[in-house]
Amino acid sequence: MRSSMSFIFKYINKKRWFLLGYSAIFLESLTPIIATLLQRDLIDKVFSAKQYQEFPKILALYAIFFFGPKLWFTVRKVVFFHIGYNLQTVLTKEFLIKIYDMPTAAFNKEHVGSLLNNIRNNIADASDLSVNQILSESVKNILTIVFLVFSIANINFMMLIIVVTVSIIYYALLHKFGEKTKQFSQQVREEKANVAIAVEESISSIREIVAYNRQDWQINNYKEKFSQYFKAIIKQGLFKNKILFISDPFLYGTKIVAILLGGIGVISNRISLGEFVVGFTFVDQLVTELGQLFEQALIAKKLEASVECIKSVIGRDEVKFGSADFNKHIESIEFRDVTFSYSPDSPAVLNDISIDFPIGKKIAIVGKSGSGKSTIAQLLTRAYSPDRGEVFINDVPINCYGKQYTDKVSMVFQQPYFIPSTIKENLTLDKSYKPIDIENTCKEMLCHDFIVGFPNQYETQVGERGISLSGGQKQRLALSRAMLKNTEVLILDEATSALDTETEFSVQKNIDKLRKGKTTIIIAHRISTIQNADIIYVLDKGKIVAKGPHEKLMSESTIYNELYNFQQVR
């Protein structure tokens, strides 16, 4: 628990507010005790000793101390709500930064549903544990218990002994059940994440599911996950009932013993009637506070499981890249003896390959499907790192560079993603460009005409709540985005595959014009797209089997000839 708390406390940046919150808790715990002590004076002084002149004063003080806790309670809630809200914002930001920085291999192992569940539920739980709920309530319980113990000791020593005994029993129960509560809670959390993953997957695959009429299969899959979740909740509930079944008798037993001892004290004239009433009220309050503290401790064990989930993402210390400055231009890009597989137990996708990408040229990579073309692009954008060998940029291993490297290289994917925003924002991604430059680039990439055909033109919303774009329109927009960024190196991975041959030819011609003198790496199936490249690498089963310009490959490479001739036939 201590490690979870210290982990979360690193992210609380409103520590001064805590002083205010805990001062409110101190007063909230103390004032009801004083109010109860006033009852003793009311009984012993006013009613038993008949000092009626004291009555208005005691009544007025009672009213003040009775309503005091409500005020301090409100102050505490407001203060901790602010700290908790701030903590959730900070944790969410840290979480997103960590996801962005997570090596792609690690990210691929996480389900989007599970990450969303982490953001939605676990961060709120962490805030409840450390700020809003558990910690502040527990501190209030503990302070009240301390005040009550002193007050009871002042009235009747025997009552104090019962109270201490009950506290020890509670502590032993907590020790016995705490770890198990955490385990049940972890199980519930895992099953809940599985339900979230099932929902996320069934929504993501909706097109295929409907097309193949497999709705029942998906619904049954969801039902199965939900039933596991439900079973875990029932198990957790039964365990909680078992704890209550054991702990409740202590509550009531203690009160009865307090009445017995107090009653004997009054009958034998060792304590006054007022002390008996107040002493019993204190024991009653104390047992309630102990019960609440016990409850908080069990909930804390549950929430600790959430903090561990967050920690498993935010607490990762995998560092993706180095921090070397990159102020120069890219002068060389080279794969030296690179071998790579996507996981330790799968075969190598790239097999001891060495490639030189001449700067300022158009370089193409061709090969059959699955030969490893996109994987080369993934290594160039640092999504993955080689198992053996190295990718060198200016003779320095690529991962040594900080994020400046990313500003020098951009990539267009076959299926680009657009944020739910306007076309303009998707093109600029919050960078500022002159409207005329945006328009000219879109004209070159042959998308200006269809953009101005929309009623809101460049302000048209795309993405989830906007218009749907065709595959070819999306690719042209993505190309415009990359052309606007105009990086030193541009990688196009099947970036024009959805365009018809005529449009693809025109777009490609304009790309060549705009990228003249700049390094452009093109991965393509259609040879016609890259026929004019300065150098073409032919990849087969993860190996470079030929390289050179089109004419040379036509006369020397059988695989290249096969690829070319097959496309001519089609």
Ligand X SMILES: Nc1ncnc2c1ncn2[C@@H]1O[C@H](COP(=O)(O)OP(=O)(O)OP(=O)(O)O)[C@@H](O)[C@H]1O
The residue ranges that bind ligand X (CB under 6 A) are 108, 342, 349, 367, 369-375
Which CB sits closer to ligand X, 124 or 379? 379
**Which CB sits closer to ligand X, 271 or 364?**
364
Phi, psi of 271 (to 5 degrees): -130, 155
**Closest approach of ligand X to the CB of residue 292, in Å:** 50
Nearer to ligand X, 243 or 355 (CB): 355
Cα–Cα dist 550/537, whole Å: 10
Q: How far is the CB of 344 from ligand X (least distance, A)?
A: 12
> Which stretches does DSSP call E strand in 413-542?
489-493, 519-523, 535-540
Question: Can you state the percent helix, strand and coil of the chain, rounding each to 5?
Answer: 65, 10, 20
CB 378 to ligand X: min, Å = 7
Distance CA 494, CA 472 (A): 12
Q: How far apart are the first and last CA of the chain?
A: 66
Q: Which residue, 512, 450, 438, 452, is CA-closest to 475?
A: 450
Minimum Å gap between C-beta 235 and ligand X is 36
Q: Taking the complex as a whole, how short is the minimal distance between the CB of residue 81 and ligand X, in angstroms?
A: 43
CB of 349 to ligand X, least distance (A): 4
Taking phi over 0 as left and psi of -120 to 50 as alpha, with beta for the rest, 132 belongs to alpha
- Asked whether the beta carbons of 335 and 353 are under 8 A apart, the reply is yes
Nearer to ligand X, 87 or 535 (CB): 535
CB of 137 to ligand X, least distance (A): 46
> How many whole angstroms separate alpha carbon 506 and alpha carbon 180?
67
Residues facing 391 on adjacent strands: 335
State the nearest-atom distance from the C-beta of 129 to ligand X, in Å.
Answer: 36
Nearer to ligand X, 118 or 375 (CB): 375
CB closer to ligand X, 370 vs 471: 370
The residue type found at 99 is I
d(CA 228, CA 246): 28
- 86 vs 17: CA distance, rounded Å: 11
With the CA atoms of 378, 383, 389 and 394 taken in that order, what torsion angle do they form, in degrees rounded to the nearest 10? 90
28 or 494: whose CB is closer to ligand X?
A: 494
Does residue 339 sit in helix, strand or coil? strand
Q: Measured between alpha carbons, how far is 54 from 291 in angstroms, rounded to an integer?
A: 36
Please say which residue, 76 or 373, places its beta carbon nearer to ligand X.
Answer: 373
